[in-house]
Structure 1
């Protein structure tokens, strides 16, 4: 019987155990720290403690419970075994819903309306056509493409930026570092949906904010480590960034004394933009373990060099 261990530093993963067992009753699922965990051949992880996976002498597969794996790759002692991720077919839809809400929040000036309510100010703003508002999507993978096309269908002017050239209907596309300034300067609302790589780590910093139009908005739903929090805080205070919605942070959960909680014109959300269902996680982990046991190619295997 193949044993799996659920490992996380700060997330209770116990609810995933019955989902995995339901999908593959032959698997033995245990929790990190239990007496039999060291026998595990599969480590199912989210933000595992450094060295926790390396401490498993029989481990043959590491499996994330989400699309992102940067929290796992951050462990310098990670064993040289396959790493897989969960790809929820509904993940792109959920992300698109969240970004559409954020875009409409800024487009319809609801950020200003909410501020006016606190000050008991009754002020009705003129409505602008979506085509007069340019939304820039950084990252044109499967999810970024879905988000960009949905925004285009809603009538917004959409542009996209990616590492390599892309051709998307109705979307102005930019690619490569040299095109980043022109992409940013024409963007009213910036959406970050990039993967985390050495090139994108810390990309949302003072230098990038300075390239944006003064008062432009930010919706950050990529990876936490894209963001330099102190630079965003400074840009908000100086009104270089006119408002932001941030769903992912370098350190999660956000500490109670973190100054971002009280930052002007910032909405903090708890990494909720789009989350795979427990049923999907259980099914994909179970099926991949079966493929591992059967010597078959694994689904959604991560290219360690690329980080996704």
Structure 2
């Protein structure tokens, strides 16, 4: 019988216990799920969270893989004690959550809903506030992996003129796909609404800075459900103050929880959401974990295996 270690915060165990046991049973996998502390030498797989109690993997000599509960792996991929294969979480629930958050906030910006909410004062302001059709609104998605690609194709299906950018060339139906440094400049130049769904890597740190923000159309809107390190905070605040950027809706930050005295909280052109765009759902995540264990045991290629060199 396989032995799994659930290495997330203990308060999450009641939600994950039935989901994991059900998913493993459906796959026909005989496994015992243990909680820390447990004998490291007996563990076959670690169900891992960066917030959990396991940060030193040295003693887990029998462990075949570390299965991350988060889509992001930046907090663990550089851990020198991690020699086991690492798989990140990409599941249907997480993907749909990201798509729904992005779609909702793109529509909010596209329809200028905040303006009307701020002017419930009895004055009829139709002139100048009829939005263009979606086909006349340029939306740019930075990052065309599983999450970014799903967002881009969903927005395209609603009729938006969608451009996607990625480090390496991609092809998506209904989406104009660009890549490389020149492609990034071209994408930013047309980004009336910009959605960032990139991983946290050395190449993406401060990707949106004073120079790149200046490439965007004046009055553009930024949505960041990707990683807080993608944005130079000081540069974004300056761009908001000058009107270069009209509004920013931010779900992720360099420090989380966002400190109470951070300028984003009080800025009139910033909406803060508390890292909720792509939360892992136990039921769907458990199915991905069970499928990966099945694949490892069968000698098949695992899902979402992390490339250590690329950082995701």
Give the TM-score normalised by the residue count of structure 1: 0.85
Match of 1:13 in 2: 12
1:289 aligns with 2:288: no
Instruction: Tell me, yes or no, if structure 1 residue 3 matches structure 2 residue 3.
Output: yes
Paired with 1:129 and 1:253, the residues of 2 have a C-alpha distance of 37
Distance 2:263 2:34 in 1: 38
RMSD of aligned alpha carbons? 2.8
SS of the aligned residue for 1:137 comes to strand
Q: Structure 1 residue 165 and structure 2 residue 164: aligned?
A: no
Distance 1:7 1:231, change over 3 A: farther
Q: Distance in 2 between matches of 1:171 and 1:293?
A: 38
CA gap 1:13/1:227 in 2 versus in 1, 3 angstroms: farther
1:199-210 correspondence to structure 2 within 5 Å: 199-210=203-214
Q: Which residue of 1 aligns with 2:67?
A: 63
Gaps of 5+ in 1: none
Q: What secondary structure sits across from 1:5 in the alignment?
A: strand
1:53 is aligned to 2:56: yes
Deviation (angstroms), 1:84: 1.0
Q: Is the 8 A contact 1:51 1:77 kept in 2?
A: no
Deviation at 1:51, TM superposition (A): 7.1
Residue of structure 2 equivalent to 1:185: 189
Residue pair 2:7, 2:53 contacting (<8 A) in 1 also? no
Structure 2 residue 109 is the aligned partner of structure 1 residue 106: yes
Q: Name the SS of the counterpart of 1:164 in structure 2.
A: coil
Number of residue pairs matched by the alignment:
304
Matched residues in 2 for 1:121 and 1:305: separation? 57
Q: Distance in 2 between matches of 1:3 and 1:258?
A: 44
Runs of 4+ in 1 over 6 A off after TM superposition: none
Deviation of 1:122 (Å): 5.8
C-alpha offsets along residues 238-278 of structure 1, whole Å, 9 cap, x if unaligned?
32211011122222222333322222211111222233421
Q: Superposed, which structure 2 residues align to 1:236-275 within 5 Å?
A: 236-275=240-279
In 1, Cα distance between equivalents of 2:92 and 2:135:
29
**1:61, distance to aligned residue in structure 2 (A):** 1.7
What SS does structure 1 have at the residue aligned with 2:214?
A: helix
Unaligned runs of 5+ in 2: none
Alignment partner for residue 81 of structure 1, among 72, 79, 84?
Answer: 84
1:31 counterpart = 2:30:
no
Q: Does the 8 A contact of 1:116 with 1:122 survive in 2?
A: no
